Amino acid sequence: MAFLAKFRKVDLVRLAEEMGLEITSEDRVIDICKKIKNSPDYEEEFAKGQLDVISQEREAEAEIARAELAREELEAELARKERETERAYELEKLKIASAAETVSLNSTRSEGSRNRREIKHLMQRFDSQNTDISLYLTLFERQARAAGIEEEEWVSQLISLLPLDLAQIIIKESEEQMREYTNVKKVLLDRFKMKPETFRIKFTQHQRKQGDLWKDLVFELQNYLDGWIEGLNVKDFKGLKELMIADQLKRRVPNEVKDHFLDEWGELIDPLVLAGKLDQYESVRGHRKINPVRMAERKPLDKARPNSPRKEHPAKNAEKTEHQFGKISAPKGNWRNEKFERRTQPACYICHSTSHLRPNCPQLNKSKELVNRVGLSEQAQDLFAPYLSKALVNNDEMDILRDTGASIDIVSRNHIRPEHFTGEVVYVKQPLDAEFRCLPLAKVELQSPEFGCVVTKAAVIDAQLDSGWYLLSNKTYELILEAKRKPTLNAVVTRSKTRKVEPPKSGESEKKAVSPKEPAAIVEGEATPLSLPPAVREDGDLIGVDKGALQSAQKGCVSVNVFSASGTREFRFLH
């Protein structure tokens, strides 16, 4: 009997029917198996083979049914595509015919409107500072109808009256929406936040301006009412009546209840829906269990707080025990829970005044100590002393602080005049900052008896950050060292009396010039003979020779190069 459980119920039912057994719809699989096994004609091998045949026939029939269903779906899909092709063809024909009619109509309209006056000659341009957009659009619609302008041309006429910023907002819309005046009007009203709730507030609170007529007030109120009704899609008298009832109902709702429906408050125009929401809110709030909060022990400071309002004015608060919707309020001892639901005004924790908070309380004993302030002590001044020097910065005497970690000089705005700025900027990043800071560059002239005058550039910081120091960077320090290394030539040309009385012979002068007076250098290994060029007597001024010319002359001399190449660790040749 175990193999019978592997087959489906339909196969077992069919086998039982062929064996002549009676099967009802209430029989389960196990019941059918028992009936088959208890049948006198039951034979296990026969039943097993017959079930295999029945199962194969069922699967074949299912496969044929699926193929037939797929064929029908394919035929239906082909028929649907054929119908869509025919519809597209007919639609294209209608579009071509409609386009031809539109072209002819536009040509006729353009010919008939050539002599029509433009609306910009009938109205003033819109002033967003002094004009209400809703009133201006109403006036525009009336003027356009009076001038005989078609509604399809209202958008182009309106754009010519709007400022550039509002025209750009309209142009950002899609081309199809920009052609519809209703869509353009909605975009402009949204730009100035003229929602239905805004129209309602203006309708209920708008007052007549001084000097205006009462007819002007009537026109403005009528315009605000139309904007309110049209914004809420109220089209019949029944909808208007429901809107008025809902508005009166909203006026009687407390503010603490209104705060829970702020997101949909302006869209609730059905009084029954609004009343249902309010009743549901009161029902939920009335059955809510409030867990009492255990108050902490009062500190001596809490004794200065005022008593509860129910203890100070019991008679005044007794009148408010009944809720505005007729519900009984919380018990008298539970006034803290009611106060928790209301919005409280912030007050000072020290004197309980609402005019200021605790950090600004005059009764607070504020410490006079400086907290989290970075200052310079005398020890820090002593540490900076080896790196400080005096110099003139743009003719102003300042302390120069050598900063080995700076790549550019830093100077305060107090020591820079407007003509010193170069118009360039530099991006500076401090080790503790994650972003770069843009600082302007200025020309700075440093003067000191030690190095003379050096012209460089420095980044200018705000005057509030002035510490009285000029931060000297590595680049400027190299310029100062180079200025110190410049040779100072103080050569004086003299003549002896013997030369003045009796000039020496040329041979003697050459010998004296050739003979070296300096001690010979110590050279390891074989010495290379040094051949010096013959001396030439010149009476020129040696002071005029600069460092660059002297170095180039030394590098070009063959004898000097040979002598410098033969040097060792014991001496070196300096240019």
Q: What are phi and psi for residue 571, nearest 5 degrees?
A: -155, 165
250 or 29, which is more confident: 250
Instruction: Please give the mean pLDDT across all residues of the chain.
Output: 73
Give the model's pLDDT for residue 318.
46
Whole-number percent of the chain with pLDDT over 70: 69
Beta partners for residue 460, in sequence order? 411
pLDDT-based confidence at 107, cuts 50/70/90?
Answer: low
Is the pLDDT score of 180 beyond 70?
A: yes
pLDDT tens digits for 258-302? Answer: 888 887 887 788 888 888 888 888 888 776 655 555 555 555 544
Tokens representing residue 111 in the block? 């010919």
Q: Are 407 and 473 in contact (CB under 8 A)?
A: yes
153 residue type, one letter: E
Q: How far apart are the first and last CA of the chain?
A: 116
pTM of the model: 0.29
Give the model's pLDDT for residue 341.
62
Q: Which of 137, 224, 120, 148 is nearest to 182 (CA)?
A: 137
Buried-exposed string 504-538: b where 16+ CB fall within 10 A, e elsewhere: eeeeeeeeeeeeeeeeeeeeeeeeeeeeeeeeeee
Give the model's pLDDT for residue 296.
52
How many residues are given for the chain? 575
pLDDT tens digits for 333-386? Answer: 555 555 556 677 888 888 888 888 888 888 876 555 544 545 555 665 677 777
Q: Chain-centre distance of CA 487, in angstroms? A: 59
Is the pLDDT score of 173 beyond 60?
A: yes
Q: Give 350's contacts (C-beta < 8 A, 6+ positions apart).
A: 358, 361, 363, 364
pLDDT tens digits for 448-469? Answer: 887 778 888 898 988 878 778 8
Give the model's pLDDT for residue 58.
79
Give the model's pLDDT for residue 277.
85
Tokens representing residue 554 in the block? 């030394």
pLDDT tens digits for 110-127? Answer: 555 444 557 777 788 888
Whole-number percent of the chain with pLDDT over 90: 0
Q: What is the β-pairing status of strands 469-472 and 452-461?
A: unpaired
CA–CA distance, 547 with 487 (Å, rounded to integer): 7
CA–CA distance, 254 with 489 (Å, rounded to integer): 98
Give the model's pLDDT for residue 310.
47
CA–CA distance, 185 with 141 (Å, rounded to integer): 11
Is the pLDDT score of 93 beyond 50?
A: yes
Angle made by CA atoms 178, 182, 185, in degrees to the nearest 5: 85
Calculate mean pLDDT across residues 131-149: 84
Calculate mean pLDDT across residues 508-524: 42
Q: What are phi and psi for residue 334, nearest 5 degrees?
A: -110, 30
Residue with tokens 């519900």: 327
Q: Indicate the Cα dihedral angle 551, 555, 560, 563, nearest 10°.
A: 110
**C-beta pairs of 58-63 under 8 Å, 24+ apart in sequence:** 58/8, 58/10, 58/11
pLDDT tens digits for 381-433? Answer: 677 777 788 888 888 888 888 888 788 888 888 888 888 888 888 888 877 77
Give the model's pLDDT for residue 287.
66
Of the given ranges (51-55, 277-281, 291-295, 476-480), which has the lowest mean pLDDT? Answer: 291-295
496 or 196, which is more confident: 196
Give the model's pLDDT for residue 519.
41
